[in-house]
């Protein structure tokens, strides 16, 4: 059978869903973990192959286009890294089922071209963290209020799409989903109450960016996008500043995610060629860099429990591999030269130049705050006193594989950035052509 004749796209969507159905019948965590790894690796390979088959697929509402093609392997990699970074003691069949279902929702959403089907997938995605919170006995009132409002605004806004009121409701819904000020309270609470992996696969795919590109850009009034861009810019600075002063690692990571998400959303709201190019590149780099950063944090939590940033722990001597992983992924998320995030961040700042010096300066402040927060967390976790323990804390084989994959992604992504930027610039131009045509 020829390579092009294999239904890679259908396999990409079917494998996580089939995996969830299969793993649901397993009783032991070890069996669920092994099976889930097999399904995720297969899904990643299928997604990489499907990204070369634009327009392929026999599914009515789904297809691979220029926007979805590079995101398929990125999202598959994100969910695989989430599983690789989960300690065996915290893996359960239910956790694996939730992770596989989240992967299916993300992969299906990014390839969905029907607005109502996309909204349905976004609503289903909200249920996965809710399931996790309920299973852990956590208070869900805050999450229900925020996500319930998100669902209502999304459905009503799409119902009245075509009018300024409808687009306004959609915009508010997506700002809420992204945690943009003042609608951000649910995000830090989610990282504290839910399993780290569940919170990661809900926040890091940046589904609000996808929905903005699919639902908002064609016809949303320009003044609405400009107002939203101001809120996103303020949130980027606020999130970076809050990340600096946090004393708990999970809160630090949550606010870092908040700032990075706001930067991507700001680039989308610019609705210019350079802005959209930066948004599409940042979507890739931020998702992978933050996933790698979370990988090292979760591995530390598995060894030492809940971590505080009030003191220096000196973990470098015991887990140097995790220290290196934390540092390179953290720096990649703020655009350090040579990493996957450098060119996208440069594009964002240069693309905002036409908005005025004040905007570029504010973006630089947000990036600086994020960098300070990351370095503060690194020094608190890995420098200082050298604790001793009689228990071996060396990397597990799974973690070793994860660290190697993350390092390759961070540096090879930086090496191949020019080709990615050219591809994303072409996609941005096509989105803008559609915008101009519909106006």
Tens place of pLDDT for every residue, the chain, 439 residues? 565 667 888 889 999 999 999 998 888 888 888 899 999 999 999 998 888 876 655 577 888 888 888 889 999 999 998 888 887 778 888 999 999 999 999 999 999 888 899 999 999 999 999 998 998 888 888 899 999 999 999 999 988 887 888 889 999 999 999 989 888 889 888 988 888 888 889 999 999 999 998 888 767 888 888 899 999 999 999 999 999 999 888 899 999 999 999 999 998 888 778 888 888 888 888 888 898 888 888 888 877 777 888 888 888 888 888 888 898 898 888 888 888 888 888 888 877 777 777 888 888 899 999 999 999 999 988 887 765 554 445 666 676 777 787 877 777 776 766 777 777 777 777 777 765 545 4
- Written as six digits, the tokens of 291 are 């996933």
Instruction: Please tell me the predicted confidence (pLDDT) of residue 395.
Output: 62
- Written as six digits, the tokens of 108 are 């299906």
Instruction: Please tell me the predicted confidence (pLDDT) of residue 391.
Output: 45
Q: Are residues 53 and 95 in the same domain?
A: yes
- Written as six digits, the tokens of 297 are 């944090």
With contact defined as beta carbons under 8 Å apart, do 351 and 277 qualify?
yes
SS (H, E, C) the chain: CCHHHCCHHHHHHHHHHHHHHHHCCCCCHHHHHHHHHHHHHHHHHHHHHHCCCCCCCCCCCECCCCCCCCHHHHHHHHHHHHHHCCCHHHCCHHHHHHHHHHHHHHHHHHCECCHHHHHHHHHHHHHHHHHHHHHCCCCCHHHHHHHHHHHHHHHHHHHCECEHHHHHHHHHHHHHHCCCCCCCCHHHHHHHHCCHHHHHHHHCCCHHHHHHHHHHCCCCCHHHHHHHHHHHHHHHHHHHHHHHHCCEHHHHHHHHHHHHHHHHHHHHHCCCHHHHHHHHHHHHHHHHHHHHHHHHHHHHHHHHCCCECCCCCCHHHCCHHHHHHHHHHHHHHCCCCCCCCHHHHHHHHHHCHHHCHHHHHHHHHHHHHHHHHHHHHHHHHHCCCCCCCCCCCCCCHHHHHHHHHHHHHHHHHHHCHHHHHHHHHHHHHHHHHHHHHHC
With contact defined as beta carbons under 8 Å apart, do 70 and 78 qualify?
no
With contact defined as beta carbons under 8 Å apart, do 294 and 200 qualify?
yes
Predicted TM-score (pTM) of this structure: 0.90
Q: Are residues 187 and 236 in the same domain?
A: no
Cis before residue 111, ω within 30 degrees of 0? no
Q: Are residues 185 and 262 in the same domain?
A: no
Q: Are residues 190 and 225 in the same domain?
A: no
Residue 339: C-alpha distances to residues 174, 415, 418 (Å): 29, 8, 12
Q: Are residues 102 and 138 in the same domain?
A: no
Q: Are residues 23 and 161 in the same domain?
A: no
Last residue of a domain, one of 83, 112, 141: 112
With contact defined as beta carbons under 8 Å apart, do 271 and 432 qualify?
yes
Q: Are residues 127 and 268 in the same domain?
A: no
Residues 269 and 279: their CA atoms lie apart, in Å, by 9
Q: Are residues 420 and 297 in the same domain?
A: yes
- Written as six digits, the tokens of 159 are 């119902």
Instruction: Please tell me the predicted confidence (pLDDT) of residue 390.
Output: 43
Last residue of a domain, one of 60, 90, 112: 112
Q: Are residues 106 and 192 in the same domain?
A: no
Rg over CA atoms, the chain? 21
Q: Are residues 257 and 170 in the same domain?
A: no
Q: Are residues 302 and 389 in the same domain?
A: yes
- Cβ burial of 264 (10 Å; 0-12, 13-18, 19+) is buried
- Written as six digits, the tokens of 328 are 């390179």
Enclosing domain of residue 385: 221-439
Residue 365: C-alpha distances to residues 268, 326, 349, 369 (Å): 19, 22, 11, 6
Q: Are residues 283 and 430 in the same domain?
A: yes
User: Under 8 Å CB-to-CB from 379, ≥6 apart: which residues?
Assistant: 312
Last residue of a domain, one of 92, 112, 132: 112
User: Under 8 Å CB-to-CB from 166, ≥6 apart: which residues?
Assistant: 156, 157, 158, 159, 160
What's the number of domains the chain is made of?
Answer: 3
């Amino acid at each position: 059978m020829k390579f092009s004749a294999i239904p890679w796209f259908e396999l990409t969507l079917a494998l996580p869903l089939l995996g969830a159905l299969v793993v649901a019948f397993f009783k032991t965590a070890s069996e669920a973990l092994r099976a889930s790894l097999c399904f995720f690796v297969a899904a990643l390979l299928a997604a990489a192959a499907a990204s070369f088959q634009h327009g392929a697929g026999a599914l009515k509402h789904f297809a691979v286009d220029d926007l979805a093609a590079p995101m398929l392997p990125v999202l598959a990699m994100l969910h695989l890294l989430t599983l690789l970074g989960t300690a065996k003691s915290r893996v359960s069949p239910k956790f694996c089922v939730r992770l596989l279902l989240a992967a299916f929702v993300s992969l299906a959403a990014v390839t969905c071209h029907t607005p109502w089907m996309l909204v349905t997938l976004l609503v289903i995605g909200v249920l996965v963290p809710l399931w996790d919170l309920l299973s852990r006995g956590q208070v869900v009132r805050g999450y229900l209020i925020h996500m319930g409002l998100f669902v209502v605004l999304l459905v009503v806004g799409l119902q009245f799409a075509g009018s300024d009121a409808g687009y306004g409701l959609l915009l508010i819904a997506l700002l809420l989903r992204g945690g943009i000020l003042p609608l951000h309270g649910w995000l830090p609470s989610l990282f504290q109450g839910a399993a780290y992996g569940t919170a990661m696969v809900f926040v890091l795919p940046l589904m609000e960016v996808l929905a903005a590109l699919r639902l908002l850009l064609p016809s949303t009034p320009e003044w609405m996008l400009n107002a939203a861009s101001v809120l996103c810019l303020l949130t980027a600075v606020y999130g970076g500043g809050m990340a600096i002063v946090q004393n708990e690692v999970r809160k630090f990571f949550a606010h870092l995610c908040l700032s990075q998400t706001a930067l991507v959303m700001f680039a989308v709201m610019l609705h210019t060629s350079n802005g959209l190019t930066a948004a599409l590149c940042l979507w890739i780099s931020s998702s992978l860099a933050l996933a790698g950063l979370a990988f090292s944090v979760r591995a530390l939590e598995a060894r030492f429990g809940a971590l505080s940033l009030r003191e220096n722990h000196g973990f470098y001597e015991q887990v140097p591999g995790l220290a290196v992983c934390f540092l390179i992924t953290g720096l990649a998320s703020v655009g350090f030269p040579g990493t996957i995030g450098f060119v996208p961040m440069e594009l964002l700042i240069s693309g905002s130049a036409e908005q005025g010096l004040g905007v570029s300066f504010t973006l630089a402040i947000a990036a600086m705050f994020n960098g300070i927060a990351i370095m503060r967390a690194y020094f608190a976790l890995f420098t200082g006193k050298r604790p001793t323990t009689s228990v071996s804390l060396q990397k597990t084989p799974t973690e070793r594989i994860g660290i190697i994959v993350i390092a390759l992604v961070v540096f090879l992504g930086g090496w191949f950035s020019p080709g990615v930027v050219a591809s994303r610039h072409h996609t941005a131009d096509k989105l803008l052509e559609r915008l101009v045509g519909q106006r």
